[in-house]
Amino acid sequence: MSTARDAILSRLRAAAPATPSPPPDIAAHYAGMPADDARVARFVDRARGWRAEVIETDATHWPQALAAVVAAKELRLLLAGAGTALSDGIAAAVPATRRRWYDAPIETLRPLLFDTVDAGITTARGGIVETGSLVLWPDAAEPRTLSLVPPLHIAVLRTSTLHDTLHHAMRAERWADGLPTNALLVTGPSKTADIQRLLVYGAHGPKQLVILLVRDGDPR
Amino acid sequence: MSAVRPVADPRAFKDNATLVLEDPVLRRNFRDAMAYLADRRAAQFPDSDAFGRLRTLGETIRRHALSRLPELLETLEANLRANGVQVHWAEDADDANRLFLDIARRHRATGMVKGKSMVSEEIELNHRMAEHGIDCVETDMGEYILQLDGDRPSHIIMPAIHKTREDVARIFAERIPGAGYTTDVEELIAIGRRTLRDRFRDATVGVSGVNFLVAETGTLVLVENEGNGRLSTTAPDVHIAITGIEKVVAKLEHVPPLFTLLTRSATGQAVTTYLNLIGGPRRDGERDGPREVHLILLDNGRTQAYREERFRATLQCIRCGACMNHCPVYARVGGLSYGTTYPGPIGALISPHLSSLDETRDLPTASSLCGACGEVCPVGIPIPDLLVSLREAARQHRPAARQHGALKGQGTAGSIAEALAWKGWRVLYSHPRLYRLFSWCATRLRRWTPASQGGWTRTRAPLIPARRSLRERLAERDASARRHREFHDTRS
């Protein structure tokens, strides 16, 4: 297909303007946005507006909060990443018969993942105050499907990782210098309004989203 | 339930529109849906100054990217390759379908799961793969409903907007084994979810479109609510993304403003459930994600639109559908009438480049030029101006229109009778004596004006000249005023 490539590019080059149109000033646009002092409260409010359940907790008590969720929702099998900062807390909160580590490739885990597991728990890398969104960077320990295939997604988010907007998060963490194979913004459970514009939660992704919000300091 | 099925051919636009206009169910569906989407968008942009600032930023981002398009595409390609993504280029639909087929055959795939992609509609991927025994299943709920029913999308964001829940209930009961008849929307979605889950679990190849391509990082950006886009790009062994060459932006920091403009303009949401940044296939040690990621960059007429500066602006489009939601013509005739992949005002601008102006010449006339589309466009495309330019190009009256040498089928909407009529008009209007003679005759012979005046009298009263022309009446008035004045002058 290199012929198609060369032909397309040469047509574009022949028509491209000699001087490019000026670049946008992104930072100036966001600098004008008013800062918000009640950022944690606002995040909680927005996330709940998107039908996420937000449970406020702290660095020592989140495993108990998790245990309460597992009991209240009668979860039979929770899937989690091994060897993460959360693993010990999860092991302490959930009995071994009701949890499983995502410790094999999806090719092996596929039947379990699609048919048996009823919740997946992941770390949230951060949160976005403006929209009540979670930032997820799936990795080897917490793969992409962990927050996607089970009907319930539980995310552990620390208040110190909240950013005002996606722009602020990208800039502060220098995303452009190195992105993972997959990065996500997740806002509430999956949903659709494709039938007569009637909103239904639980389209193809999780039907429910629970955020365990760990208070560990002020947002960035 | 509406039985109306407009033809998928833009040449049938007028007949299609007539069909839809006579169908009260379809008309109500479109009217209600467009009013709903327009209200939701308005609620997201309460402050018109703030919208103006964001729109200017969005427009600057897109114009900047297009002005550097060839260079950015090369940067994108290099960065994608470095990330392990295989990049392919396609001149047209045939090229693109051949690429899909090659990849599918290499993996012995008998089916594909698809996230929503208008570009895949553009190349008619489903039909073309079916010819080779490959079964493509649409997984966006709206697209899935349409596929089961053998129907086409009527809106680029809400494809099944012309269906009622009763329609969906009947389609599911007839087409999905084991599904009973229910009009409960939660249950209907649950049936769709259950049925498609099996396909996601077993699929070898997943297909998706792309909302934005980031040159500096080599990233594919996908925006969605349902999670089917994530599943299509994550669960199968192979992910094939297809998109137009115009979707590239220079930097990652250009994505957040465009994302905000897109979701607010499209469905009136401050944000969608998922913003999915795909950086490449599964790396060593990772436990899921596709082992191969392919990106097909499609031209299919886009370089032609790029050639002329005026029409290059159409490539700024981020496919939000706001111009459709606010178009009084679209709200009445619906998306199916246009007979093109992309309907509505932006469709009228894009479609001539994808096929030719010969086939799509009626589409630019499907506008009252009220300007609503241009007002809501989140990236500042001057849609009404471009519609007028296309009307000119289709008729080629004015020499200025001939500058648009790039467009296929230009001038094909012109007819000899129309050209003669305009020529006559020009002679009359530039020769005062001739004009006066003509208007004198027209007013005196008004009784013989034909009662049937073609398309005009189909829904309107015939046009009949006044008893006296305006010029004559003014002259009469002046004369009588003069007489009046002279009368008073003599008395005083």
- Per-residue pLDDT of B209-267, as tens digits, reads 999 999 999 999 999 999 999 999 999 999 999 999 999 999 999 999 999 999 999 99
Asked whether residue B404 carries a pLDDT value surpassing 70, the answer given is no
Any chain B CB within 8 A of the CB of A131?
Answer: yes
Asked whether residue B3 carries a pLDDT value surpassing 70, the answer given is no
Location of structure tokens 């919208």: B51
Q: What confidence score (pLDDT) does residue B96 get?
A: 98
B88: β partners: B296
Structure confidence at residue B399 as a pLDDT band (50, 70, 90)? very low
Q: What confidence score (pLDDT) does residue B2 get?
A: 62
Any chain A CB within 8 A of the CB of B370?
Answer: no
Rounded percentage of chain A residues whose pLDDT exceeds 70: 97
Structure confidence at residue B56 as a pLDDT band (50, 70, 90)? very high
Task: Among A33-42, B91-100, B220-229, B477-486, name the one with the lowest average pLDDT.
Answer: A33-42
Asked whether residue B371 carries a pLDDT value surpassing 70, the answer given is yes
Say yes or no for a CB contact (<8 Å) between A192 and B251: no
Asked whether residue B406 carries a pLDDT value surpassing 80, the answer given is no
Q: What confidence score (pLDDT) does residue A36 get?
A: 64
* Per-residue burial over B350-389, b = 16 or more CB atoms within 10 Å of its CB, e = otherwise: bbbbbbbbbbbbbbbbbbeeeebbbebbbbbbbbbebbeb
CA distance B339 to B29: 18
- Mean per-residue pLDDT for B279-297? 97
Asked whether residue B491 carries a pLDDT value surpassing 80, the answer given is no
How many C-beta neighbours within 10 Å does residue B148 have?
Answer: 18
Say yes or no for a CB contact (<8 Å) between A190 and B225: yes
Rounded percentage of chain B residues whose pLDDT exceeds 90: 79
How many C-beta neighbours within 10 Å does residue B412 have?
Answer: 16
Q: Higher pLDDT residue, B476 or A208? A: A208
Substitution target in A137, A144, A208 with the highest count of B β-carbons within 10 Å is A144
Distance, first Cα to last Cα, chain A:
47
Task: Among A196-200, B307-311, B345-349, name the one with the lowest average pLDDT.
Answer: B307-311
- Both tokens of B112, joined, read 């594909």
Say yes or no for a CB contact (<8 Å) between A5 and B245: no
- Mean per-residue pLDDT for A14-42? 89
CA distance B355 to B376: 26
Asked whether residue B400 carries a pLDDT value surpassing 60, the answer given is no
Location of structure tokens 């020499």: B399
- Both tokens of B418, joined, read 């129309």
Query: How much of chain B is in helix, strand and coil states, percent to nearest 5?
Result: 55, 10, 35
Asked whether residue A32 carries a pLDDT value surpassing 80, the answer given is no
CA distance B136 to B295: 18
- Mean per-residue pLDDT for B354-361? 83
Say yes or no for a CB contact (<8 Å) between A200 and B186: yes
**Cα–Cα separations (whole angstroms), residue A218 to A41, A160, A214, B200:** 11, 5, 11, 41
Q: Higher pLDDT residue, B361 or B189? A: B189
**A-contacting residues of B 133-172, CB under 8 Å?**
139-142, 145, 158-161, 163-165, 168
Contact residues, chain B, for A110 at CB < 8 Å = 201
Q: Report the chain A residue with the minimal C-alpha distance to residue B235.
A: A145
Say yes or no for a CB contact (<8 Å) between B283 and A181: yes
Task: Among A67-81, B94-108, B144-158, name the one with the lowest average pLDDT.
Answer: B144-158
| Contacting residues for B209 by C-beta, under 8 A, at least 6 apart | B115, B116, B117, B118, B119, B120, B222, B241, B242, B243
**Given phi > 0 = left and psi -120 to 50 = alpha, else beta, which region is B137?**
beta
pLDDT in tens, B125-176: 999 999 999 999 999 999 999 999 999 999 999 999 999 999 999 999 999 9
CA distance B386 to B371: 11
Residue B292's H or E segment, with its range, is strand B292-298
Structure confidence at residue A37 as a pLDDT band (50, 70, 90)? confident
pLDDT in tens, A136-192: 999 999 999 999 999 999 999 999 999 999 999 999 999 999 999 999 999 999 999
Chain A and chain B share a number of CB contacts under 8 A equal to 248
ipTM of the complex model: 0.97
Say yes or no for a CB contact (<8 Å) between B278 and A181: yes
Q: What is the mean pLDDT of chain A?
A: 95
By Cβ distance, the residue of B60, B190, B216 closest to A22 is B60
What DSSP character marks residue B492?
-
Structure confidence at residue B401 as a pLDDT band (50, 70, 90)? very low
A192: β partners: A200
Asked whether residue B403 carries a pLDDT value surpassing 80, the answer given is no
- Mean per-residue pLDDT for A95-111? 96
- Mean per-residue pLDDT for A23-49? 89
Say yes or no for a CB contact (<8 Å) between A182 and B278: yes
Substitution target in A21, A100, A106, A196 with the highest count of B β-carbons within 10 Å is A196
How many C-beta neighbours within 10 Å does residue B65 have?
Answer: 28
Asked whether residue A41 carries a pLDDT value surpassing 70, the answer given is yes
Say yes or no for a CB contact (<8 Å) between A15 and B193: no
Q: What confidence score (pLDDT) does residue B21 get?
A: 92
Say yes or no for a CB contact (<8 Å) between B303 and A8: yes
| Contacting residues for B65 by C-beta, under 8 A, at least 6 apart | B72, B215, B248, B249, B250, B254
The strand pair at B274-278 and A182-186 is best described as antiparallel
Asked whether residue B1 carries a pLDDT value surpassing 60, the answer given is no
A154: β partners: A121, A210
Any chain B CB within 8 A of the CB of A186?
Answer: yes
Chain A nearest-CA distance from B224, in A, is: 9
CA distance B286 to A146: 12
Any chain A CB within 8 A of the CB of B310?
Answer: no
Any chain A CB within 8 A of the CB of B53?
Answer: yes
Contact residues, chain B, for A19 at CB < 8 Å = 67
Q: What is the mean pLDDT of chain B?
A: 92
- Mean per-residue pLDDT for B461-478? 90
Structure confidence at residue B397 as a pLDDT band (50, 70, 90)? very low
Chain A nearest-CA distance from B386, in A, is: 19
Any chain A CB within 8 A of the CB of B349?
Answer: no
Any chain A CB within 8 A of the CB of B38?
Answer: no
pTM for this model (two decimals):
0.91
Any chain B CB within 8 A of the CB of A68?
Answer: no
Substitution target in B47, B211, B288, B403 with the highest count of A β-carbons within 10 Å is B288
Q: What confidence score (pLDDT) does residue A220 get?
A: 67
Structure confidence at residue A2 as a pLDDT band (50, 70, 90)? confident
Judge whether A94 and A116 are in contact, CB under 8 Å.
no
Nearest CA to A204 out of B104, B139, B425 is that of B139
Contact residues, chain B, for A170 at CB < 8 Å = 252-253, 256
Q: What confidence score (pLDDT) does residue B242 get?
A: 98
Any chain A CB within 8 A of the CB of B196?
Answer: yes
Any chain B CB within 8 A of the CB of A26?
Answer: yes
B294: β partners: B86, B240
By Cβ distance, the residue of A148, A165, A184 closest to B256 is A165
Q: What confidence score (pLDDT) does residue A144 get?
A: 98
Substitution target in B230, B231, B264 with the highest count of A β-carbons within 10 Å is B230
Say yes or no for a CB contact (<8 Å) between B256 and A170: yes
Say yes or no for a CB contact (<8 Å) between A106 and B280: no
DSSP string, A2-14: HHHHHHHHHHHHH
Q: What confidence score (pLDDT) does residue B419 get?
A: 84
Asked whether residue B490 carries a pLDDT value surpassing 90, the answer given is no
